[in-house]
């Protein structure tokens, strides 16, 4: 029995029924689940509570980004759903992240709180387009350092940056990496991609994987194949 599954399956579905159809093929010892903006907007907090009650660790990926007071209140509401992990955008700033962390620590369940550095869909060109001319890797490092300073548990980054962040920010800092693609699988809208095995070798704590599993003919088999590729317990 694996008590700390490394794979987080992204439930990017348009409604609860479609998401549940996948969830019933999965097992809490094999993976955790991620509820993002699409499913949360469609199915709501009650659906998140339904998932947490079924023993799956749930990452509520709503990437809060607002003024400190608003983000803190949103983090309290999210913590009260019993989720395992939730997140904010590091670019919301130090004060915002500190307010979020304080809110989470005052909640009963104290979920892990992490911050998004630079979205894995972005590359140097798209970063420049939003007015940031720092080297992308340096920008990720700056935001991750600020996140640690604010007292959060970790960051969302690409596994391309995991080795660098692990070395600088230590073994305990949680590195959650989307943009995971097994070899020869479509990259879709992701820019900074890494294979599951390489992501773990680079020091990722958890791999977020959506379409390579959810769009597979047999999602359970696709998940098990990734476990085998990475030598993870089944």
Ligand X SMILES: O=c1ccn([C@@H]2O[C@H](COP(=O)(O)O)[C@@H](O)[C@H]2O)c(=O)[nH]1
| Contact between 211 and ligand X per CB under 6 A | yes
63 is catalytic: yes
What is the residue-wise DSSP string for 168-227?
HH-TTSEEEE--B--TTS--TT-SS-B-HHHHHHHT-SEEEE-HHHHTSSSHHHHHHHHH
With CA atoms as reference, report the closest residue to 48 among 74, 11, 9: 11
| Residue choice 208, 223, 226, 232 for contact with ligand X (CB under 6 A) | 208
Binding piece for ligand X, criterion CB under 6 A, among 42-50, 52-60, 130-138, 202-210: 202-210
- Residue 66 annotated among the catalytic residues of the structure: yes
Taking the CB of residue 84, how many other CB atoms lie within 10 A of it?
16
Q: Shortest approach of ligand X to residue 150 CB, angstroms?
A: 18
Per DSSP, 103 falls in state: H
Of 211 and 220, nearer to ligand X (C-beta) is: 211
**Distance from the Cα of residue 81 to its chain's centroid:** 17
Rg (CA), the chain: 17
- What lies within 8 Å, CB to CB, of 234 at 6+ separation is 30, 224, 227, 228
For residues 68 and 212, which CB has a smaller minimum distance to ligand X in the complex? 212
Q: Is there binding between residue 188 and ligand X (CB under 6 A)? A: yes
We find the least distance from the C-beta atom of residue 220 to ligand X, in angstroms, to be 17
Contact region with ligand X (CB under 6 A), list: 39-47, 75-83, 123-131, 205-213 = 205-213
- The single residue of 27, 66, 73, 198 carrying the catalytic annotation is 66
* End-to-end Cα spacing for the chain: 8
Concerning whether 6 is annotated as a catalytic residue, the answer is: no
Check the annotation: does 69 bind a ligand.
yes
| Residues forming the active site | 61, 63, 66
List, as residue ranges, the binding site for substrate: 12, 34, 61-70, 120, 181, 190, 210-211
């Amino acid at each position: 029995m694996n008590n700390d599954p490394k794979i987080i399956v992204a439930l990017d579905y348009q409604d609860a029924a479609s998401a549940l159809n996948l969830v019933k093929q999965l097992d809490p010892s094999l993976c955790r689940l991620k509820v993002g903006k699409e499913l949360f907007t469609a199915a709501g907090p009650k659906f998140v509570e339904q998932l947490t009650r079924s023993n799956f660790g749930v990452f509520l990926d709503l990437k809060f980004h607002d003024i400190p007071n608003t983000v803190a209140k949103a983090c309290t509401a999210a913590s009260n759903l019993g989720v395992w992990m939730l997140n904010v955008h590091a670019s919301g700033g130090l004060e915002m992240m500190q307010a979020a962390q304080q809110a989470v620590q005052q909640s009963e369940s104290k979920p892990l709180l992490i911050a998004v550095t630079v979205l894995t869909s972005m590359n140097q060109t798209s970063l420049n387009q939003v007015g940031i001319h720092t080297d992308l890797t340096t920008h990720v490092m700056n935001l991750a350092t600020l996140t640690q300073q604010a007292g959060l548990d970790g960051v969302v980054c690409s596994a391309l940056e995991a080795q660098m962040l692990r070395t600088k920010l230590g073994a305990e800092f949680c590195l959650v990496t989307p943009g995971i693609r097994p070899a020869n699988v479509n990259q879709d809208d992701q820019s900074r991609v890494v294979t599951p095995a390489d992501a773990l070798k680079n020091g990722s704590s958890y791999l977020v994987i959506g379409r390579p599993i959810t769009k597979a003919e047999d999602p359970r088999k696709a998940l098990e194949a990734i476990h085998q590729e990475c030598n993870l317990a089944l």
